[in-house]
Amino acid sequence: MSGEGRSFLGRSVSRRTFLSGAAVAAAGLAVSSCGPSVALVGGGARSIDYWNLFGGGDGVRMVEMENQFRRSHPGITLNAVTLSWGNPYYTKLSMAIAGGSPPDVAVMHLAKMGAYAPAGLLEELRPEELSRYGIGPDKFLPQVLDFAKYDGRIYAVPLDTHPFVQYYNVDICRKAGVLDSGGNLVPMDSPGRVVKVLEKVKKVTGQWGVSFYPNDSAGPWRLFLTLYGQMKKGAPILSHDAKRVVMDDTKAERALGFMTELALKYRVMPINMDYGGSVALFQNGQAGLYWNGEWEVTTFQAAKMNFNMVPFPKVYTYRAAQADHHSFIIPKGVDPAHKKTALEFISFMLKDSYVWAQGGHIPAYQPVVQSEKYRHLEPQSNYAGVAKYVVTDPIAWFSGSGSIMESHASGIFQAVMAGRMSPRQGVRQFRAYLQQEVSLPKPY
């Protein structure tokens, strides 16, 4: 059976190609077995299955929002399932869609758009359809909504922006003399000023100026893309069609060079620290600053630290910070009745996203961002403006949060930061990897 004739995005896609595309939508990794899928429960239009990948503090807040939905919608049965973060989640999701048993609504990082939309795995969401539920295009920043589009069409509803930011320990920074009279960090608007601040902080902590996690599958990539994006507007890595590598090697080398200097020359940043260790370094006062995503805010609040959060400093020419966006998607193949209920669910979750914002993420739904309650939510609202100038992974089938591309890049960059290769060698190796990926035939 050829399966020819199944049409997505206006193109005819064979069943074989569709399944192949679904497989690589799980971030370019070899696909493991789909595993048990979650069966539809109830089967009626007032019952929906929802998949997400949130654990930790995010998971707690997501459950709180789900429960609020259940209480306010007693006629709808919500079957929520949380799966393991990263590729296990995306593998199950893509294979469930391809296998014809998808959930009615699911969470997806928008950096995954390049893998899911071209493969025909997502329902298009028309603007007028979203407006009927109060979540039309006018409710989002255009810069954020653009990430939810593919070929000009909307395939996801953004929930948040979660950028790379800067945390600082107020007490340590005050002792180091790097706060102004208003209690804000002094400008760190050049590589030299960054080093100067971190060296002063290091003298107070006795260990490190800034905590970071080079020994991680995403950390070095996040810092690199932030610095590269501040030198090269938009942080282009691949061409729009993902067929060519367009990275500016000179600027990429400069970004890697600065990361290496912080670790090896000035020794203000740890070289081999993993993610958990980096959190502990900052929490224990062994570093006065911390570079990471904003999602650890509740960790330090729970520890009753005296800390603050601000956007990542503009070290070079442009404001830029690496980020991704959580979003809601409706998989291809969901029947119209369930799609309506799913949109009702998505609408509620966005309007309830002040709960989500407390965990650090910047809400995508602008009525929440503009609310008095959010404006007074500190330190979370301090960096809300970052949503307008974030840089994200290149749009490609092998890219996106948790992808092998991020892991591969981070491995190379960590080796550079540890002095095992030069920044130039690191850029060349990364370019060679990218060239290999874009040379492969697209799997859909």
- Report DSSP letters for 145-202, one per residue: HGGGEETTEE--EE-EEEEEEEEEEHHHHHHHT-B-TTSPBPP--SHHHHHHHHHHHH
The burial class, CB within 10 Å (0-12 / 13-18 / 19+), for 361 is buried
Distance CA 424, CA 426 (A): 5
Residue 31 is predicted with a pLDDT of: 31
Per-residue pLDDT of the chain (444 residues; tens, 9 = 90+): 333 222 223 333 344 444 444 544 544 433 333 332 333 333 444 899 999 999 888 999 999 999 999 999 999 999 999 999 888 899 899 999 999 999 999 999 999 998 899 999 999 999 999 999 999 999 999 999 999 999 999 999 999 999 999 999 999 999 999 999 999 999 999 999 999 999 999 999 999 999 999 999 999 999 999 999 999 999 999 998 999 999 999 999 999 999 999 999 999 999 999 999 999 999 999 999 999 999 999 999 999 999 999 999 999 999 999 999 999 999 999 999 999 999 999 999 999 999 999 999 999 999 999 999 999 999 999 999 999 999 999 989 899 888 889 999 999 999 999 999 999 999 999 999 999 999 998 776
**Residues 278 and 270: beta-carbon distance below 8 Å:** yes
Radius of gyration of the CA atoms of the chain, in A: 22
The per-residue pLDDT for range 167-180, each reduced to its tens digit, is 999 999 999 999 99
Distance of CA 435 to the CA centre of its chain: 24
Which DSSP letter does residue 336 get? H
Residue 86 is predicted with a pLDDT of: 81
Token representation of residue 23: 């497989």
Residues 6+ apart with CB under 8 A from 273: 211, 212, 213, 214, 215, 281
Confidence (pTM): 0.88
Distance CA 414, CA 74 (A): 51
**Residues 313 and 23: beta-carbon distance below 8 Å:** no
Q: What sign does the CA torsion over 106, 335, 11, 20 have? A: positive
Residue 417: strand, helix, or coil: helix
Identify whether 379 is preceded by a cis peptide bond (ω within 30 of 0): yes
Distance CA 283, CA 361 (A): 20
Amino acid in position 121: L
Residues 6+ apart with CB under 8 A from 31: 23, 24, 91, 95
Half-sphere exposure of 213 (CA within 13 A, CB side): 19
Residue 225: strand, helix, or coil: helix
High-pLDDT (> 70) share of the chain, %: 90
**Residues 41 and 54: beta-carbon distance below 8 Å:** no
